[in-house]
Structure 1
């Protein structure tokens, strides 16, 4: 039986942490064990050396690799190594980066044979069946793939998303060791709930998002928002609870409570079935009300993360957040009332940022008092976003950037990296910036920047 190997590339985790490769687990679920030989290899956990040994020993006919924009350099490195070792292996790359930048990827990386663009489950299965059967004449009939033919790059018809997510089988958790992830996921903090012996599992209730924020590529990939039936989600939770002792759940949805009625029903099912779990999720502050927050708490929700981004109304407007600071303040107050932890995810250094907007952000954070402030220094520019098209139209960057090995571009075109450090420092320390302090900190951080460069140069000379 010919073999399929699904790979999460090495060095694609963030800050030493990673989560289970849920997309690959969903892909694997499309291939019944009795009919296919398939394994998953997570390079983030096991590294390059073991991965290359695995490829040599397993001898797959098809390798499928997931590719996010920040890890595209690792993917390109990996596919080149695989092709150098065995040219007969079909290499298929899927995910958000090949979906948005597919033509550039195929034009510049001949080691890639096929791209899966958009939702992957049915597309990848159809492609594998075609390749394994040798019926290559069927390639033009597979929606959602891209490939080369006679030196031309071919994009087949787009595959429409599966709106009925209940049709997609539950992820194949049996193909990975969940303990590998429980050790490195973010720990549960500040809650008096005993989770000893329980394992952490990622699940998703929905795909896509109802928002279209200017910096986010989710809409470009999914093209909308759709979710499972609460009963189907409950069945998966029950399965994980009984089979794997799952007690700590992380909902990986981009916008968990977009359909408040559906989430309320899911909470009712968790409560009715006496499922003793705790969970965290992410959503928008304008998609919660007190009744739903009370149900979430009763069902086991201990933390909710929100993309607050900024405490300045003009910045929120430029980000197309389509939300208000009042909504956010009310929601954070309700979370405190019901004892649910809050995380405010912030972007420090947005388009149009200055010391006044930073002061407004500091003032707002002091008002809402989140339990956790998770901040990014600088706006991350990613392909397929309005922010990227803004930068292209301004002449700040071109598509050639995505051929570099840098994970993403920080928006530092209208202010220096030193200024981004000042902004981040002020927000973290919650220090208001007066005009005098503003220029004083720029001077201090500029000196630090020069010293770092000088030390780096001395180290190079010394070696």
Structure 2
């Protein structure tokens, strides 16, 4: 057999494709076949990827297909068939696992589609005659054939660890994905994972063995792709205690969790986890009771809030919202936004409903008058509860939210602005988005200093009082980011240079020049640290991880 090429087209360079690694190692472990991996990203030129694949001269190409790369892969397949007509093109992944025959009829360059779990099916597909294999759509006599679905792997420990020792050694600056379970017990109407309601687990011993490999290699960010990691308390506590026993300062483990499932014992444990070691993504999605019922996702909002506030000081938190859900109009979405904002996570991910084929909500399109994009990412355009114009406004709010909240660059200035001029957080971001729109700021890209300038100019435009105090908070946020090459026009520098040099002489720098390069010193007319109406001088000490502050 000629060369078999597994292709992963990722959304970003730092990402890795877990599926093709599982397939490669599974097939090679249980047969004499050898597979080669080729990875790129949607940000690279299609023509360059086409050339790379052509030069590898594969007999079979297997593409991993997702919502972010489907259109790219389909275009690539058409071009491959022009220059390599005899090469078999196989697709797999969630984006081709539903309405599969229709996809093949519309895309003649696709020879086969593997549906469902890929490891065992791919091995059989490459080893047997196609008519003896389940889980594969294929062409025969001008028709699309399918022999039924493959049963999922019952013992997941059969699936080898996806990463080689060499790859781990060379992936310290990449995001590596890992799973300790497959499936999800919940039935959220918008989610593909709800289709696999049973949950299968890798054994605890196997997972611990795998985690040791990540820790030993010094990988800085490992993202668990388990749909809800904290289902089984005995299991997740066992694994978290194991990770804590093997703590490494530079390593972060990311988990998708349900925030209202933790009991007091778990919260007390999480309060003691070293800061930055764990990162949680929590899907709040909405606080509207009617919406929660419609999407089959119930959150205990009181318990969720209590749990988040208890652990937020040492667990890095991402909280998710989804706009465009049933019964969630623009006004009720404001309530969901304010609820999440009040919890002060590190990131608020304001997402928009994707109407995915195969999900329950896809079958409710007529019920709720959904209009959505007919191509990836299948994002909602409107429904009977929210208009396209209102969703467009939320898109703009999402942008300024990323600039001024998720960046974590404006903690002091935004807090001051909200505390003194707005009753609810949503109103501020809505106001700021409208200001951006009126000035045409959404139509151009911005350097960091421009984003600071826009916030200052917004404050002036609104005519808010105490602009001198606000400017001091904004100056503090700006100087906290790193050694400035230059100051924005609204910063008045009033540093005492002689005092600055005397302070540096007492510090452990090789020279005054090195001290200047790694610090900044400024006088503030208002004490932005203690929030008092008195002057303060602040030394900003810059290092790789964070800026340290000393008052004088």
Pairwise TM-score range, normalised by the shorter structure: 0.7 to 0.9
Aligned twin of 2:311 = 335
Gaps of 5+ in 1: 131-137, 184-199, 453-463
- 1:23, 1:289 → 2: CA distance? 34
Aligned twin of 1:370 = 345
- CA root-mean-square deviation: 3.5
Alignment match of 2:300 (pick from 292, 310, 324): 324
Please give the secondary structure, in 2, of the residue aligned with 1:305: strand
1:113 aligns with 2:89: no
Gaps of 5+ in 2: 405-417, 444-552
Please give the secondary structure, in 2, of the residue aligned with 1:121: helix
Q: Please give the TM-score of this superposition, normalised by the length of structure 1.
A: 0.79
- 1:2, 1:218 → 2: CA distance? 35
For residues 437 and 412 of structure 1, do their structure 2 counterparts lie closer, same or farther at Cα, with a shift above 3 Å needed? farther
For residues 40 and 157 of structure 1, do their structure 2 counterparts lie closer, same or farther at Cα, with a shift above 3 Å needed? same
Question: Which structure 2 residues correspond to residues 43-442 of structure 1 after superposition, within 5 A?
Answer: 43-44=40-41, 47-130=45-128, 138-173=129-164, 182=173, 200-220=175-195, 222-242=196-216, 244-272=217-245, 277-295=251-269, 301-336=277-312, 339-376=314-351, 378-393=352-367, 396=370, 402=374, 404=375, 406-414=376-384, 415-423=386-394, 428=401
Please give the secondary structure, in 2, of the residue aligned with 1:30: helix
- 2:381, 2:51 → 1: CA distance? 39
Q: Please give the TM-score of this superposition, normalised by the length of structure 2.
A: 0.67
The answer (yes or no) to whether the contact 2:14–2:173 under 8 Å persists in 1 is no
Alignment match of 1:24 (pick from 17, 20, 23): 20
For residues 330 and 440 of structure 1, do their structure 2 counterparts lie closer, same or farther at Cα, with a shift above 3 Å needed? closer
Alignment match of 2:39 (pick from 25, 38, 42): 42
- 2:428, 2:259 → 1: CA distance? 33
Structure with the greater relative contact order (CA < 8 A, sep ≥ 6): 1 or 2?
1
Aligned twin of 1:191 = none
- 1:389, 1:172 → 2: CA distance? 38
Number of positions where the alignment pairs a residue of Structure 1 with one of Structure 2? 415
Please give the secondary structure, in 2, of the residue aligned with 1:5: strand
For residues 445 and 100 of structure 1, do their structure 2 counterparts lie closer, same or farther at Cα, with a shift above 3 Å needed? farther
The answer (yes or no) to whether the contact 1:62–1:89 under 8 Å persists in 2 is yes
User: Of the two, which has the highest radius of gyration?
Assistant: 2
- 2:237, 2:19 → 1: CA distance? 26
